[in-house]
Amino acid sequence: MKIHTRKHVPASLKQGKDIYSLEDVIKRQEKDHGFKTLLDKARLRVAIARQIKIAREEAGLSQAELADALGISQPMIGRLEGLKDNRLPSLELLAKIASITKKKLIVNQPGFHLELACM
């Protein structure tokens, strides 16, 4: 078995160069509108996925049970919770999840606040 090693050292890692944290790089990149839009969408997606999983677990439901109640497949719930799908779920789907789990889904991100609850 051959093990390939990387011989090229990035310029930022060479002696005498500054090394930046990921947070610093993101702060710099956020000045770019396109990057900021993608980053905000990714953060929103993570917040929604987290709320779906919390609501399902607090309701004592498995992914399969929630999927059955929603009329969708279990892998779809897995993709929603596991961030395997870059699309944002519809408000209709989120409202159904809140209704089935009888839990409030709260997504609070800078510039965006959403609360869905079963009444």
User: What do you get for the CA distance between the two ends of the chain, in Å?
Assistant: 61
Q: Is 63 a domain residue?
A: yes
Mean pLDDT calculated for residue range 8-15 = 52
Return the half-sphere exposure (C-beta side, CA atoms, 13 A cut-off) of residue 88: 13
Q: In the numeric block, which tokens belong to residue 56?
A: 């399902």
Instruction: Render pLDDT for 31-67 as a digit per residue (tens, 0 to 9).
Output: 777 888 888 888 888 988 999 999 999 999 999 999 9
Q: Is 10 a domain residue?
A: no
- Residue 113 sits at φ, ψ, to 5 deg, of -140, 130
CATH code for position 43: 1.10.260.40
**Residue bearing tokens 């093990």:** 3
Q: Is 106 a domain residue?
A: yes
Q: In the numeric block, which tokens belong to residue 111?
A: 């510039």
Which has more pLDDT, 1 or 104?
104
Specify the amino acid at residue 90. S
Q: Is 103 a domain residue?
A: yes
Confidence of residue 70 (pLDDT cuts 50, 70, 90): very high
Beta bridge partners, 109, equal 112
Q: Residue 105: which domain range?
A: 34-116
**Residues 104, 117: contact at Cβ < 8 Å?**
yes
**Residues 52, 80: contact at Cβ < 8 Å?**
yes
Q: Quick check: helix, strand or coil at residue 113?
A: strand
**Residues 55, 102: contact at Cβ < 8 Å?**
no
Q: Is 9 a domain residue?
A: no
How many structural domains comprise the chain? 1
